[in-house]
Amino acid sequence: MIRKLGLLAVMVAFLKGYGQSGADLYQVDALEKVFKERAYFPPLTDDTIRAAAGETASIQLVLRANRPLRGLSALAVCLPGTLPALAAKTGWVTYVPVGRSYTPASKDLLHSVSGYFPDPIVDDTLLNLSQGEINPLWISVPIPANTVAGIYRVQVSVSGLANGKKEQFRRTIPVKVYPVKVPETSLWISNWSAHFSPVSLELLNKGNKVVLYSPLYWELLKVHAAMMAGHNQNVHRIYAAWNTRYTLHNGQYTFDFSNFDKEAGLFEEAGALKRIEGGHLAWRSGAWDDPFFVEVPLEDNAETRKLKQAPNPSISLSGMRSVLLPVTDSRTQNFLNQFLPALKAHLEKKGWLGKYMQHISDEPTAKNASSYVAISDYVRKYLPGVKIMDAVLTSKELKDGIDIWVPVLDVYHKDYAFYQELKKNGKEIWFYTCVGPRGNYANRFIEQPLIQTRYLHWINYKYGATGYLHWGLNYWGGRDPLRDDASRDGGKLPAGDANIVYPGYKKLYTSIRFEAMRDGIYDYELLKMMERKDPAKAKRFVNDLVLNFNDYDNSIRYFRKIRKQLLEALE
């Protein structure tokens, strides 16, 4: 009887976790979204991370607590060996509530029992886990372009307290670097910031006020520039009209471009300014299909207060008023006749004219296309050679008004033949995603498989679009997306549509979606390299995975097989 009771005590102790390590570390593919309710982690058939020199390797581990753990931190180092060491960064993947799912939903939509989805990667927080709880750990390994080919071994150590005693858990991951060097990325990528609104920036300042153009304001913009450069974002939208100080006397304007220069300089220094998107000059005069009116700075008086105000956040600093007027109005023409030549001369002086592009207004439709083209024609008179670019929801009605076409992905699909003809005539074609397209189209929505965010840039390659644009880098407004419902505006927008980074104190947190997007941009460059070596093989690789504009092979294991073949073919 005593022996039986002793055995029972041992079994009970084991079940309580006393007979095993305080935690288990599992390796999971970085393209998997790991939900809190997951319980089974089969061993990977191939645990080697494969990368080219010049890109960043992404690793995902999952920690499962066999007893309560407190104060968990992680460190990743390259083990000593014959090859030079690589650096590595770690962060805990955290979870956000999604709220209402978007419709029409993709057939590949992911579902979470808890309603919480993994997305932010937080690199400055200690983690606590209850017994049986899991949490992913993200490891990024930047691989310098001059890295010697070979096998590197990255050791990940997780430390924390179990029953008040320090424990450490380790796992080693092989990283194979191929004798392939990814060149400087050539795919044009733009993620719009929230105009760097002080309201949005307050979340990076513990909710405290951020004054426009203050030293703190510029410090926080520098944080954005570094994050964007680190994720292959090379096009930045800057509102020349909004970042200019004006005076107006007897119809004559003066222009001070110093704030424009400072913003452009920050992003250029960070390496995120290969091209400048000049912010929009015009806005809808009323409803969605109403004509576009130009934003014009005028003296703030009783007369101008009767006009519709434009959304310029900085115009009040100069004691003026920004209003919307048709391009045929003499006040509009007086402004454009002075502003556009002054802007051109200033861009020439700064050496930026060759990289400058100009937006007219966002998402013109067939019904207001004529007003868009009229403004575009007016701008071309004073900015000859500067390309007009815009996101569009229509095609043929704008044929003469745009140089860089950015159709939403489903419009690009529907009118693909039209856009191919434009390319033959020297036009530049990008595509964009945002609130749409929905259904089975790839996008950046949190509820979609992570591989589809990466496939966005395989779509770039397959269908010849040389750029990608999205409206939502950090449009969290005054709400904290780390805690609030991720589907902004009470579920009107799909979760994750409004932002792909998250606010910290004087810093930004990346997300697993932003990491996948960066990795997809590297894939695009590898495919372009393959095309120069063997066009037929490059086409086969992409066709194996992207079956159509809105049909993909979502098997992560098959994706890894194809990417391995791509790297081997480039050796």
pLDDT higher for 369 or 19? Answer: 369
* Residue 316: pLDDT over 80: no
A 10 A CB-CB count for 288 gives: 10
Q: Which amino acid is at 395?
A: S
Instruction: State the average pLDDT over residues 15-29.
Output: 77
- Categorize the per-residue pLDDT at 1 as very low, low, confident or very high, splitting at 50, 70 and 90: very low
Could you give the percent of the chain with pLDDT greater than 70?
A: 95
Cα–Cα separations (whole angstroms), residue 557 to 45, 437, 500, 537, 550: 9, 27, 25, 20, 20
Two tokens, residue 128: 């606590």
In degrees and rounded to multiples of 5, residue 430 shows phi and psi of: -115, -175
Asked whether the beta carbons of 390 and 362 are under 8 A apart, the reply is: yes
Cα–Cα separations (whole angstroms), residue 5 to 11, 17, 87: 10, 19, 52
Sheet containing strand 116-122, strands side by side: 23-28, 56-65, 134-142, 89-97, 116-122
Query: How many whole angstroms separate alpha carbon 166 and alpha carbon 335?
Result: 68
Instruction: State the average pLDDT over residues 119-137.
Output: 97
A 10 A CB-CB count for 540 gives: 13
What pLDDT score does 283 carry?
Answer: 97
Query: How many whole angstroms separate alpha carbon 561 and alpha carbon 252?
Result: 64
Specify the length of the chain in residues.
Answer: 571
Query: How many whole angstroms separate alpha carbon 398 and alpha carbon 259?
Result: 33
Query: How many whole angstroms separate alpha carbon 469 and alpha carbon 357?
Result: 14
Q: Which amino acid is at 371?
A: S
- Categorize the per-residue pLDDT at 105 as very low, low, confident or very high, splitting at 50, 70 and 90: very high
Query: How many whole angstroms separate alpha carbon 437 and alpha carbon 408?
Result: 7
Q: List % helix, strand, coil for the chain (3-state, nearest 5).
A: 30, 30, 40
Asked whether the beta carbons of 92 and 74 are under 8 A apart, the reply is: yes
- Categorize the per-residue pLDDT at 14 as very low, low, confident or very high, splitting at 50, 70 and 90: very low
DSSP secondary structure string for all residues of 177-232? EEEEE--S--SEEEE---TT-HHHHGGGGTT----TTSHHHHHHHHHHHHHHHTTT
- Categorize the per-residue pLDDT at 9 as very low, low, confident or very high, splitting at 50, 70 and 90: very low
Asked whether the beta carbons of 501 and 522 are under 8 A apart, the reply is: no
Cα–Cα separations (whole angstroms), residue 31 to 58, 499, 515: 9, 19, 10
- The 10s digit of each residue's pLDDT in 40-81 is 999 998 999 999 999 999 999 999 999 999 999 999 999 987
What pLDDT score does 85 carry?
Answer: 81
- Reference 91, options 114, 59, 116; nearest CA is 59
- The 10s digit of each residue's pLDDT in 372-410 is 999 999 999 999 999 999 999 877 888 889 999 999 999
What pLDDT score does 196 carry?
Answer: 83
Sequence-ordered list of residues with C-beta below 8 angstroms from that of 302, at least 6 positions apart, any chain: none
- Bridge partners, 95 (sequence order): 118
Instruction: State the average pLDDT over residues 101-105.
Output: 89
Query: How many whole angstroms separate alpha carbon 221 and alpha carbon 226?
Result: 9
A 10 A CB-CB count for 119 gives: 27
- The 10s digit of each residue's pLDDT in 236-271 is 999 999 999 999 999 999 999 999 999 999 999 999
Biggest alpha carbon distance in the chain? 106
What pLDDT score does 84 carry?
Answer: 76
Residue that has been written with the tokens 């996101």 in this structure: 391
Q: Go through the domains of the chain in sequence order and give each one's CATH number.
A: 18-180 (2.60.40.10), 188-570 (3.20.20)
* Residue 311: pLDDT over 90: no
Residues 49, 50, 51, 57: what is their CA dihedral angle, to the nearest 10 degrees?
Answer: -10
What pLDDT score does 490 carry?
Answer: 56
Query: How many whole angstroms separate alpha carbon 113 and alpha carbon 120?
Result: 19
